Amino acid sequence: MLDRIGIMRMAGQMGAHAAARQSQVARNVANADTPGYRAQDLRDFTDSIDAPATGLRATRRQHIPASEPTGALSHIDAGGEPSPNGNTVSIEDELVRQADTKRQFDLSLSVYQSGLSLLRTSLGRR
């Protein structure tokens, strides 16, 4: 039922994006000493909102297949200055990403709780 309400669906997707981004930050920190490892990040959640939800579909063999969709969980190179061993992980940058991810998750949780509170009030329950 809640997946039909747009704001609740968006809050759930934002929470899932924050969880995936936190996993990527942890992966980057775990590989901070791995030679040649390139730090990665996820695209911003706002970029996934603007992307169309539907893709092209090939219904005949003659159709050209659609390219891969660029959704919220597509990884991008986080950049950064490489160290002498080629590693681009910066612990300071990862701490900033982690704090931003926590803020994003807290926002999604707050929106979800507010939506549930509004639904309870509309049903006459507290």
Q: What is the mean pLDDT of residues 98-108?
A: 96
pLDDT in tens, 56-101: 667 777 776 655 444 546 778 887 888 899 999 999 999 999 999 9
pLDDT of residue 69: 46
Q: Quick check: 52 pLDDT over 70? A: no
Q: pLDDT value at position 25?
A: 95
Domain enclosing residue 77, as ranges: 2-58+71-122
User: How many domains are there within the chain?
Assistant: 1
In a domain, 64, yes or no: no
The answer to whether 78 touches 41, Cβ cutoff 8 Å, is: yes
Does 87 fall in a domain? yes
Nearest CA to 11 out of 86, 96, 110 is that of 110
Verdict on whether the full-model pTM lies above 0.85: no
Arithmetic mean of pLDDT, 29-33: 94
Alpha carbon separation from 61 to 14, 32, 55, 68 (Å, rounded): 36, 46, 17, 18
Question: What pLDDT was estimated at residue 44?
Answer: 86
Does any domain span residue 63?
no
* 65 within some domain: no
